Chains A and B, each alone.
Chain A
Amino acid sequence: MKNHVYRPLLVVIAVVVLILAVRAIYVPDDFAIGDRGYMYGWHRQGNEVDWKNVKVKYLGREYCQDCHTDRYTSIMASAHQDIECENCHGPAVDHPDVRPALAIDKSRAHCLRCHFPLPYASSGRSKIPGIDPDEHNPDIACAECHNPHDPMEGLK
C-alpha cells in the first residue's frame, strides 16, 4: 500500500463530501418533488404558500357599496354599469383605513381607452359610441360635463 496511490483518492473523496455537505446545508429542507414529478415539480414547497400569501389589492365594487351607496346605485343603473370602480379609482386596498382618499383619474385619455373611435368590425370596440377627441370639446376634462357614474345624466 503506497501512500501516493491513496492520497489523490482521499482528495477526491474529501471534495465530494464537502460538496454534499454544502448542498445539505444550503438547500432548504422542503425542496422535494411536488405533485408534477421530477420533470415539472421539483421545487421548494414553501414557495407555493408564499404565492398564496400575496396581498389582494383589488377588492371589487361590492366592497364600495355600503359606504358609497350613491355612486354604486347610479353607476349600476347607467351605461357604465359594467365598469368596476377600481378601474377608474385604482386598487382600494387599505382604503379607507390607511389611505383615506383614492385616486380619481380625470384624464381624457382614460375615457378614450374605450371612447376613441376604432370601428373594427369583429371587435366589441365598434359597438361603443366613439367621439373624436379633437372635435368633442377639446381641452376640457370629460368629467366636467359627463358624470362618469351616469354619463348622460344632466346633459343638454
Chain B
Amino acid sequence: MITRRKFLKSTALGVTGMALPLAAFDFIDPRKLMALEAADASKVRWVFLVDTYKCVGCGLCVKACKEENEIPYDANVTRTWVERYVLTKNGEVLADTPKGARDGFTTAKIDLGLGKYREVKQEDIEKAFFVPKLCNQCENPPCVQVCPVGATYATADGVVHIDRKWCIGCGYCIMGCPYGVRFFHPVHRTAEKCNFCYHRITKGLKPACVDACPFGARRIGNIKDPGDPVTRIIMTERVGILKEEYGTKPQVFYIGLSREVK
C-alpha cells in the first residue's frame, strides 16, 4: 500500500532526477576530462595591444571592420569604435564618438549628443587624445555567464563568439557587458560583437582593423609565445586595461591609458 508521504517523496525524487540535464553526466567521463586538459595546452591565446599615442582618430579601422564583418554601413552600430577625449583646463571631461568614428574626426567641435556641439579653444585644452575600443575577449566573460541558451562561449584560444543560429536575441549579454561592446545586428537580429576577425587570425592574417591602421596603433599577438613582440610589450612595459575592478580580466591592453577613459 502506498502512502501519501511515500508517493510525494518518490514523485519529487523522480522528477528531480529526470530534470537533470543528461549532459550533467558528461563530467564524470575521464576521457573527456583528459581531452579537456590536452586542448588547454593549445599554444595560442590571442591578445590585443592599443597604443593611444599613435592613434590619430582617422577611423579607417572602423570603416574596415564594418566592411570586413558585414555590419550595415549606415546603421549606427559597430564592432569597434574610436573615442575622442578632450580634457579642459578647468577640469571638464568631454568625450565623443560620432558614428563610432566611422568617418573619423574631421571637426574640432565635440559632439555632445542631441544636436549640441562644443568647441574648446586650443589654449583651454589640458590634454586630448583618441582611444580605440573593441571587445576585450575577457578571461572571465560576464556576457557568456548570462546567456540562457549557450549561444555565446569562449574558445581555447581566448576568443568569445556568438552562435547566430542559436542566439534568441534576449539581450542579456548586451546588458551584461561592462564595456558596451555588444549590440543587436540589424540584419541577423542576434547579439553581435568583435571576435578579433576570427576568420582572419586563424588563417595567419591580422584583423582587418590592424591591417587598416596606417600608424601601428592596433596590434594583435599571442600571449603564450614569449618571443611575440606584443607579448614582450605587455610583459615588460607599462600597459593598462579597462575597468580592472570588475575582475573580467580583459585581454585588450592599452599603452597611454588615462584615468578619465571609461
Contact = CB atoms under 8 A, between A and B. Distances in A.
Interface residues of B, number: 73
**Residue among A24, A114, A116 having the largest count of chain B Cβ atoms under 10 Å:** A114
Contacts of B27: 38
B166 A47 contact: yes
Contact of B203 (A1, A32, A40, A56): A56
Given A40-B144, A58-B68, A87-B64, A125 B161 contact: no
Contact of A40 (B18, B40, B52, B141): B141
Nearest to B166: A44
A60 B53 contact: no
Interface residues of A, number: 57
Interface in B118-150: 122, 125, 127-130, 140-141, 144-145, 150
A141 interface: no
A44 B165 contact: yes
Most chain A CB neighbours (cut-off 10 Å) among B26, B57, B256: B57
Interface in B205-262: 205, 208, 211-212, 214-215, 217, 256
A40 B56 contact: no
B76 interface: no
Interface in A112-127: 112-114, 116, 118-125
Given A51-B199, A124-B56, A9 B153 contact: no
Contacts of B11: 9, 12
Contacts of A60: 205, 211
Contacts of A36: 153-156
A84 B211 contact: yes
A44 B149 CA distance: 11
A128 B211 CA distance: 20
A122 to B, nearest CB: 5
A124 B200 CA distance: 27
Given A33-B23, A122-B127, 19 more contacts: A5-B2, A12-B15, A34-B154, A40-B145, A47-B153, A47-B165, A50-B164, A50-B165, A54-B199, A55-B199, A58-B64, A58-B211, A87-B214, A91-B68, A109-B103, A112-B106, A116-B106, A118-B128, A122-B52
The 7 closest A-B pairs by CB, nearest first: A113-B104, A35-B156, A43-B153, A54-B199, A120-B128, A82-B214, A125-B56
Interface of A: 1, 5, 9, 12-13, 16-17, 20, 24, 31-44, 47-48, 50-58, 60, 82-84, 86-87, 90-91, 109, 112-114, 116, 118-125, 128, 133
